[in-house]
Amino acid sequence: MTEFDNTDRGALFKNTDKTSDKQPDYRGNLNVGGIEFRLSGWRKVSKNGLHYLSLSIQPKNSDAAQPKQSRIDDFNDALPF
């Protein structure tokens, strides 16, 4: 039997260990292009009364969490303008 390919798939599960309102209502994992991420979701209500899920994603592996390079370096050249 072949192994299940979980690439480009994910799942959220109810957070049964939640101890504060700031913690996510749902937690899970997400695989994008073979890279594993942690996925968190909070139940929210919009100003119009519509219910939605606000999501946050973080790399599981610290090597994948490279800091974003500042664009200020693009302007540090020798040109006077």
Dihedrals phi, psi of 74, to nearest 5 degrees: -65, -20
Spell out the per-residue pLDDT of the chain, length 81, in tens: 678 888 999 999 999 999 999 999 999 999 999 999 999 999 999 999 999 999 999 999 866 555 556 565 666 666 665
Q: What is the dihedral of CA 41, 39, 63, 9, to 10 degrees?
A: -150
Nearest to 55 by CA among 14, 4, 12, 21: 12
Which residues does 43 contact at the CB level (< 8 Å), separation at least 6?
A: 25, 26, 51, 53
The reported pLDDT for the residue numbered 38 is 97
